[in-house]
Amino acid sequence: MEKTVKLNNGVEMPVVGYGVFRIPEDETKKVVGEALDTGYRLIDTAAGYLNEKAVGQVINDSSVLRDQIFLTTKLWVQDYAGDNAEKAIDGALKRLDQDYIDLLLLHQPMGDYYNAWCALEKAQKAGNVRAIGVSNFESYQVADLIVHNEIAPAVNQIEINPLNPENDNINWLKESNIVPEAWGPMGQAANGIFTNPVLTEIAKNHHKTVGEVMLRWNLQRGVVVIPKSVHEARIKENFDVFDFELTPDEMKEIDALDKDKRYFTMSLEAQKSAFSSFKPAD
């Protein structure tokens, strides 16, 4: 299996990355360093995670060359309107202490995301961003962006796991030459997913863990994964997914687990209220 995928603008993106959602900034430095040492080359952060500065410091201090690291971050909805979007991009570059961002996403389909998308297009043309995309957008929203803007999203990062496989969404994205990327690829360890009898039996057959099986299932479907853990052993385990292959029957067994059960169900109005005062530090 290839360890990278080519985006619709020719940029190469690793298929397994390391996510830093909800990791405190002081701990972020340690675990991102461990991830890079393990072999991860995709690091995924966001303004809303409040740890961009720590991520950037680790990248700058790492022995891994910058052009070998694929850095993703995201703009939050509060920065979508007016000239806030362009300022927010500059702010992200400053916090990360980087000359460029490999992939910049709009974090949620809320507010004036049309205006923010125009700012992302401008940043890509200026060379400050290598590729642009979206997160948590429905397919119809992505299609609307494609029709009414110059640059199509390269990636849509959405919640994908065996209990919420997003089959129709993934198929549409792939047909539209947009890479689907899974956040929460192991279901946030909710709903008994790690003790699911189908997954545990398949894991046993391959002498692998349930987590590794879930990641491999997504990879074989053409989905990029960004697992997150703060434990060094699990960080290494989540990267050890290139030495086995699930059979077609095993893939079908996992596909049949679909319960259309999303972990993240907060309404858009609730999100707006919860994050109305959010502002990343300079």
**Tens-place pLDDT, residues 132-146:** 999 999 999 999 999
Residues forming beta bridges with residue 43, ordered by sequence position? 18, 71
Q: How many Å apart are CA 69 and CA 41, to the nearest integer?
A: 5
Could you tell me if residue 271 is inside a domain?
no
Confidence of residue 260 (pLDDT cuts 50, 70, 90): confident
Q: Tell me: pLDDT of 115 over 90.
A: yes
Q: Which pLDDT score, from 0 to 100, does residue 136 have?
A: 96
Could you tell me if residue 274 is inside a domain?
no
Could you tell me if residue 92 is inside a domain?
yes
Could you tell me if residue 37 is inside a domain?
yes
Could you tell me if residue 272 is inside a domain?
no
For the chain, give the percent of residues with pLDDT over 90: 89
Q: How many Å apart are CA 67 and CA 90, to the nearest integer?
A: 20
Could you tell me if residue 86 is inside a domain?
yes
231 labeled binding residue: no
Could you tell me if residue 281 is inside a domain?
no
pTM for this entry: 0.94
Q: Which pLDDT score, from 0 to 100, does residue 267 have?
A: 46
**For the domain that residue 235 is a member of, what is the CATH number?**
3.20.20.100
Total structural domains within the chain: 1
Q: What residue numbers bound the domain in which 10 lies?
A: 4-265
Instruction: Give the residue numbers marked as catalytic.
Output: 49
Q: How many Å apart are CA 15 and CA 17, to the nearest integer?
A: 7
Could you tell me if residue 215 is inside a domain?
yes
For helices 52-61 and 25-38, angle between their N-to-C axes, nearest 10 degrees? 40
